Structure 1
Amino acid sequence: MTKKSDIERWSDVVQQMNAAELPANTVPLHVLLGEAVDVAKFFEKYWKTQVDAQKRVTRLGLESAVPKDSKKGDAARLGPKTAEEILSLQRATQEAQTRYLLTVEKNKSPRERGKFLLGEIWATLSFYFDDGVEDERDEMLARIDAAHAGDPDTADALASALHDYATLGEKHRDALDGLGGFKAEFLDEARAVAAELRSLPAQAEAISRQAQEALLLRNKLAALLIERMGLVRSAARFVFRSQP
C-alpha cells in the first residue's frame, strides 16, 4: 500500500474547513514553519510526566493537561502523536506553498504575483510592528489596512495596495530584510508589479482558479498547523504556570 503524502493525510480535514472562517495569519510563513519544528521538539521533551525512583512526580508533563474524559476543550486534542502531527502539517504546508509558487510562476500573471507580494509585505509588517506597544507605526499600518479593507478584486485596486504597503515597508527596509525569509527586493518588485498592473486593460484576467485553489489549500493547512501549535502552547502555559 502506497504511503499517503502529508497533504493527502490531511485532505479530509481540509475539505471540511470553511474558507470564510479561516483566521488571519500575521506570522510570515517562513517563521511559522520554523517555529513548528521548535514546538514539536518542545512537545516531545515535555509530554511525559517525570517521576523519581519512589514514583514521586518531579515534573508534570503536558500529558497532565489532557482531561480524563478526553472530550473537554482543545486540550482533549493533545496526545502522544501531537508532535508528529505538527511536523506532518509543517511539511504539508511547505509542499502546498511550493505548489502555489509554481502555479504563480506557470501562469506568469502580474495579478497573481502581486497578490503574493502583498501577502508577504503585509504579514512581515504586521509581525515586525507587533511588539506589544501601540505607536505611530501601528497607526500607519491600521490606516492603510482600513483604506484597502473594501478593495474590489481589480488590477487597479491591487496596484494601489501594493504601492501603499511597499511605501510603508520602505521606511523599515533594513529591519524587514531577512525577517522570516522576507527579501527587501520584494518592496522594489511590488512597485514594479503595481506599475505593470496599472498598464493592463480594464478586463485584465482574474487570478486563475488553479492558483486560487493552491493558495486556499496552503492557507487551510497553515491554519491547522497554527491551531495544533496553539494547543501545545496553551497546555504549556497551564502546566508550567507556577514557573517563571
Structure 2
Amino acid sequence: MPKAKTELDLWMAEALASPGDAALSIPVPLHVLFGEAVDVARFHKAYWKPEVKDGKVVRRGLEMAANKKKGSLLTAKTGEEILSLQRAAVEAGTRYLLVVDPKKASPFERGQVVLDEITATLEWLFDDGVEDDNDAMLARLGKAHADDPATADALALALDDYAALAAPHREAMDGLGGFDAAMLDEARALAAALRAHPTEAAGLSERAREALGLRNKLIGLLLARVSAVRAAARFVFRDRPDIVREVTSAYGRRRRAEAARRAKKKAGAPEADAPIVDAPLPL
C-alpha cells in the first residue's frame, strides 16, 4: 500500500524550484507567522465571494481583484494553499530540528536552535497585549541583532544577550509551549564554546543547511500567498478599514505602535498650547 503523501511532499518540488538561495528574512517570529497564516486563510474563505442582496453587490469580494493569468497567487484556492503550506513548513521545521542532533551538532548548529527557542518563547510570553519594558527590551535586542552576520562571535553574543533577558523570567518560561528552561544555561555554555572554537563552529552541516533551506523556501511560498491576500484586501476593501483590519498583522500593528511611542518619547512631549484668553471688549 503506497504511503500517503504529506503536505511537505506536495510542496517539495515547487519549494526546491523556487528562486533564491534559501536565505530568508522573516518579518515576524515563526509562531506568529504560522498563527496569522491560519487567520488569513480564514479571511480568504469568508471574503472571497462578494455579498449580494436583491441583485446588488453590498460588499465586494476578493475574487473581484483576482488576476485570471496563469501563475497568479490570488485564486479561489489560495486560502487552502496557505493552510497546506503552513503545515508543510511546520513539518520541514521539525525535520530540521531532528537533523540538528544536540549530541552531535556543532555549537553553531545547536546555538541557532537554542536561540530560536528562547526568542520564540520570549515573544509569546511578552505578547500579553500590554506594551511594557519587557517588550521594549526585546525589541531593542531584535534590532541590535537583526543584521548579525552568520559567524560564531555574532551568534555567541546573541545567545548571551537573549539568555540575560530571559533569566528573570526563567520560571514563567519553563514548560511554556514545551520550552525547557535548561536551555538558558545551555545558551551560555554554547556562547562560551563558540568563542573558544570559532573555526570549528563556523557553520551548519550540509544536511542541516539543506533542511533549513527547504523550510525557508516553504515559508517564502507561504509569505507570498499571505501577502497576496492582504494586498488584495487593502485594494478591494479600501472603503472598509474595519474589514482590512481583520487580515492585517496584529503583531505588526503592535510593533508599529510601540515604535511610534518610542519615537514620540525620544522627541519629547510637545509643548502645551497657550491658553486662549478672550480679548477685552472695547469700551
Q: Distance in 2 between matches of 1:151 and 1:194?
A: 14
Q: CA deviation at 1:124?
A: 6.7
Structure 2 partner of 1:62: 62
> Structure 2-normalised TM-score?
0.66
Structure 2 partner of 1:145: 145
1:231-242 superposed matches below 5 A: 231-242=228-239
**Residues 110-141 of structure 1, C-alpha deviations (whole Å, 9 max, x = no match):** 32110122234456778969x99xx9647843
Say if 1:27 and 1:124, in contact at 8 Å, map to a contact too: no
Structure 2 partner of 1:94: 90
> Structure 1-normalised TM-score?
0.75
User: Counterpart of 1:212 in structure 2: which amino acid?
Assistant: R
Q: Distance in 2 between matches of 1:171 and 1:15?
A: 45
Q: Relative to 1, partners in 2 of residues 1:235 and 1:201: Cα closer, same or farther, differing over 3 Å?
A: closer
Say if 1:117 and 1:190, in contact at 8 Å, map to a contact too: yes
SS at match of 1:78: coil
Where in structure 1 are there 5+ consecutive unaligned residues?
A: none
Which structure has the greater CA radius of gyration?
2
User: Counterpart of 1:65 in structure 2: which amino acid?
Assistant: A
SS at match of 2:228: helix
Say if 2:93 and 2:215, in contact at 8 Å, map to a contact too: yes
Where in structure 2 are there 5+ consecutive unaligned residues?
A: 243-283
Q: CA deviation at 1:210?
A: 0.5
Say if 1:174 and 1:184, in contact at 8 Å, map to a contact too: no
Are 1:208 and 2:208 an aligned pair?
A: no
Q: Distance in 2 between matches of 1:58 and 1:170?
A: 54
Q: CA deviation at 1:101?
A: 0.9
Q: CA deviation at 1:9?
A: 2.4
Q: Relative to 1, partners in 2 of residues 1:171 and 1:238: Cα closer, same or farther, differing over 3 Å?
A: farther
Q: Distance in 2 between matches of 1:238 and 1:197?
A: 49
Structure 2 partner of 1:118: 115
Q: Distance in 2 between matches of 1:178 and 1:21?
A: 30
Q: Distance in 1 between matches of 2:21 and 2:208?
A: 15
**Which has the higher relative contact order, 1 or 2, with Cα contacts under 8 A spaced 6 or more apart?**
1
Structure 1 partner of 2:46: 45
**Residues 2-27 of structure 1, C-alpha deviations (whole Å, 9 max, x = no match):** 764322322234323212663x1132
Once superposed, what is the RMSD of the aligned Cα atoms?
3.8
**Residues 34-57 of structure 1, C-alpha deviations (whole Å, 9 max, x = no match):** 2222211111111011212x3211
2:99 to 85, 88, 103: 103
2:21 to 10, 19, 22: 19
